[in-house]
Structures are given as structure tokens and as C-alpha cells.
Amino acid sequence: MGREIVLILLEKGCKVVALDINEKALEETTEIADSRAESLMTVIADIANKEAIEGVAEQVLGRFGAIDGIINNAGIIQPFCRVNDIDFEVINRIFNINFFGSLNMIKVFLPHLLNRPEAHIVNVSSMGGFLPVTGQSVYGASKAALKILSEGLAAELSETQVSVTTVFPGAMATNIKANSGLSSDARIEKERMLKKGKVALSPTTAAKIIVNAIEKNKPRLYIGRDSKTLNLLYKFMPKVAVWFIYQMMKNKI
């Protein structure tokens, strides 16, 4: 999804900086961008490393002179298991990327955004950030933390020129499993979901929705029918929503 957001922004004439710890992924994005790559800067960086991100800010300012927005899209899931069975090493990695990585980006880039006539921050949480998903409790906790951080930040910035959008995607055909070290890729995941009669939102569609939300300054965005439906169910019938998810996921753990 991050790559699709990059490509859409480039198509709209934006200058874009793509951060990734995966050098190959960045090279592929540059190749796909083709002629638009002149406006693309790629940086290999670990968002969990605050000092590294501070260096990225200096590089960006050196090339483009200003920073008008950040999109915190990086994230990993956990192995499908109970809290009792997950190792602290895995827990720390999930929080370092999903929560502290986004916090590092915000802390480093926000001072620059506040100096712009208009700026935007996008934080990608998850359906698991507002609804407990069995077998993904730690992942959900990291995304719930990002949700509260994002919404609190939006309130703090409400009288400034910096807007904040919090995104809650549902099931998507992305490489998040592979990027989390859990095998599978987007193609395999899509085929698996189709066999079960489920429809996963494509990264391209999700990226278009997110960019549109930026342009319209939407504070909150639920992407996918599952995210929208379960958000309503959880608000009005929380016990039913939790039971429903448990019944869907209990055989995975």
C-alpha cells in the first residue's frame, strides 16, 4: 500500500520521499515510477531508530527544502497466537515498528510541518486498533496505541495548519505477512481469501482512498467493508462483535 501511495502522489506532481528498511523494495518502487522517479527520493532507514530518522530529515531538507507531510504506513503483524504464547522479543519488535516508529517520525518531522503554510500527517492504524482480533492482541494493542496517539495529536494541532488523518484498514491483499516474517505474499494471500469467498481490498484502491482523504482533510478513515461494518457493530454491540471475531479466528491460534 505504501508503494501505491507513493506512485499516486508522484502522478499528482508531488515530490516524494520513500523510507524503507528493505533496499530491494525501494529499488522496485523506483523502477515502477519510471519517468516520475525524478521527483522520488528513496532512503534506506529503520523508523524504529530515532537518530536515523533525524538524519533522514536533514537529507530531505537538503534536497527538497521543505517537508509538507508524512504518512506513517509501516507496520507488521504478529504470529497468530495467544498472548500467553508470544515472546517478548516479538512483542518489542511489533511495538518498535508499529508505535515507536510512527512516534519517531512524528517527533522528528512535526517541527518542520509546523513551519509550513499547510501540512498533513497520516497514521495508518488498523481494524485491529479499535476491535480486539483473536490471535493478534499484541499487534492490535500497538495499533490501538497509535490510534490514541493520532487522535490526541489531532486535537493538539486543531488550531494549527497541520491536519491529521487516522486510517483503519480492514483485510487487504498486501505483503504484510511476508514483511512480518510470516511467509506468504500478496498474491498468495489474495488467492487464499478468494477461495474462502472473502474479498480483500487492493492496495491501489486503498491508496487512492487515503490520498483523497488527505486532500479533503478527513480526520478518520475506515477502509474496506469489513472495517466499516465491524466499527459500527463494535460501537453498538461490543460483546457480539468480539464473539464474532473470536469464532472466526479461534482455529488459527
Write the pLDDT tens digit of every residue in 76-99.
Answer: 999 999 999 999 999 999 999 999
Q: What is the pLDDT of residue 201?
A: 85
The three cell numbers locating residue 236: 453498538
What per-residue confidence (pLDDT) applies to 172?
84
pLDDT at 186 over 50: no
Q: What is the pLDDT of residue 173?
A: 76
Pick the residue with more confidence: 174 or 26?
26
- What is the average pLDDT across 194-200? 52
Please answer whether residues 110 and 49 qualify as being in contact, where contact means their C-beta atoms are separated by less than 8 angstroms: no
Residue 199, C-alpha cell as written in the block: 474479498
The pTM of this model reads 0.89
Q: What 8-state DSSP symbol labels residue 130?
A: T
CA–CA distances in Å: residue 104 to residues 57, 100, 157, 159, 185: 11, 6, 17, 23, 28
Output the nine-digit C-alpha cell for 39: 521527483
The total number of structural domains in the chain stands at: 1
How far apart (Å, rounded) are the C-alpha atoms in residues 6 and 16?
7
- Binned at pLDDT 50, 70 and 90, residue 197 comes out as very low
Q: Which of 139, 222, 234, 246 is catalytic?
A: 139
Give the separation between CA 135 and CA 3, rounded to whole angstroms.
28
For the residues 143-167, what does the mean pLDDT come to? Answer: 98
pLDDT tens track for 8-53: 999 999 999 999 999 999 999 999 999 999 999 999 999 999 999 9
Tell me which long-range contacts 10-16 makes (C-beta under 8 A, separation of at least 24): 10/36, 10/37, 10/39, 10/40, 11/36, 12/211, 13/39, 14/39, 15/39, 15/40, 15/41, 15/64, 16/40, 16/41
- Among residues 67, 68, 90, the alpha carbon closest in space to that of 78 is found at 90
Whether 139 sits among the annotated catalytic residues: the reply is yes
Residue 211 has which C-alpha cell? Answer: 490520498
- What does the pLDDT average to over 163-191? 68
Distance between CA atoms of residues 215 and 195, nearest Å: 36
Q: How confident is the model at residue 188 (pLDDT cuts 50, 70, 90)?
A: very low
pLDDT category at 179 given cuts 50, 70, 90 is: low
CATH of the domain at 60: 3.40.50.720
What's the mean pLDDT when you consider all of the chain?
Answer: 92
pLDDT at 184 exceeding the cut of 60:
no
Q: For residue 233, is pLDDT > 90?
A: yes
For 9, 58, 129, 135, 201, the CA distances from 62, given in Å and listed in that order, are 20, 6, 36, 44, 37
Q: What percent of the chain has pLDDT over 90?
A: 87
Kindly state the average pLDDT of the residues 107-119: 98
Question: By three-state DSSP, how is residue 125 classified?
Answer: coil
pLDDT mean over 144-161:
98
Alpha helices (runs of H) in the chain, residue ranges in sequence order: 2-11, 23-33, 50-64, 88-95, 101-113, 137-156, 176-179, 186-195, 203-215, 225-236, 238-249
Query: What pLDDT is attached to residue 176?
Result: 53
Three-state DSSP state, 183: coil
Does residue 180 carry a pLDDT above 80? no
- Quote the domain boundaries for residue 248: 2-252
